[in-house]
Structure 1
């Protein structure tokens, strides 16, 4: 009976394997392959000429159309040449680990060998950054690295990172923001410790309210036993039905100055943001040449910040000028002294100003 059970087990296993769906076959698109080959050749030519900034755009498009170890390998080398060691090395790792068919072109085999030699040189150059955030257990810190969110999985471990300057910030509700900037050399490891300190303090207790002494009513006798003195009627000046012209004039001037000052502040803030964004673009974009596609977001942000800054300064200048003119041209008071009429035994006199 034992051979029968063995045979039945093998039969069921074969049936289950046969029932599993086969892996999808990659779509063969001759047009995409031809276009990728043309873009790849142009990208390699630019890379050989030392123009990796433009070469990356060509090689990335070629790789999206059709993957080839020759294209991906040169793309990784260009990223490394521009200082993106982590991204470039991972692309080379894919070329090295990708299995090649027995009948693979000789160019693919050469590309894999070249990628392995480049990896042996670049891997020791990658820096490592260890970030630790010190905060209370109830705090939920938000950490950023060079302006990008850094998830909690990256805390308290060595993160591979490109050499250069990096800014790390940590913030949480009710805590003061902590910031640190570190500059890493090639192959250097650095630790950054950010401590969050609470900013909210307990509110002071309000002082007790002392009971006020009771006031005597007008009809009640005073403390000396006599009748209370009559309470004098308050003498309020008559309310003006409408503000005088000079008050409206001055109010308009102050409002214009306030609006102008606020607009100048907004223009200054967005001007500083535009300068910072332009500095980041200058770091990755060669002068007079197109920026890589991954910088399109920063380019749009730079345009928006520049427009807001310009509008802020224009509105601020107009508002400040208008406010100053209104205040300097304030009309004088129009109040005139009153007139008087006097009657004597033999005369009648009128005094007044017209």
Structure 2
């Protein structure tokens, strides 16, 4: 005999069993999570919030929370929820891949209920998967990306499951120009085939034609050029000081040697020098000549160094530089040091425009 109250109770018990089974099926793995190293409290909080948002069909807000929960504390239950969320969001390829991952994990764990649940969704998603196939010409070192994700060379020419929507395809190789295109993939069972052409060699860096005019504040006012001239000025000036010192020393030696020879009665008796005395006098005159040249060179080098230092700063304004450029002047100091040698001595000079 059929009793309605008893049948109602059985129906309620069956419903409760289904609810409990579903809760256990989709709950996170908890302490059994493999490689769990994140904050378990935060992971659980994000999981519960993600589940709440998913039940409200707010998939765009729910999926990031579930993904972070899975990252903090990986678990098969969380992964199944994340796959369900992406399926609701329309990311069929992403959801299919996550259900596949959960299927393998469930088999490893021996959880037949989760295994069956994952397989059911895989079977439902596979006929709807959209795919993209990349056919590429042979370019040495070719690297193909979809949405900045590298595609292995072995995957070229093979249809790859992909989420519906717009995707950026890019091909690069060292020494070649970048090729890219955008493809729109349909929502269900769409197949897009993209032919990636052989890449073109990258153009060589072109050199500017003709002389380049200095920018305002450049040339004389250019800092790098100014520092170079200033450094050269200090070096030349320092060398001038050294040469002056050498010239002074030779002058003192010459004067002393000549004086000593003239005072030596054995060399120059009664101011008439013997051949030996004459040799001493000639040697003193040679030292005197060296002294004269050294002093001349030193003074000239000091002057040249001072000129370079004084003209190395930004002494021209931008308008003056522009005016010089219009008149055909390069707008920069051009100078070089040249030796000057004469019958009575030597030195250096500075030739150029300032």
Give the TM-score of the pair, scaled to structure 2.
Answer: 0.42
Higher helix share: 2
Q: Which has the larger radius of gyration?
A: 2
Give the TM-score of the pair, scaled to structure 1.
Answer: 0.42
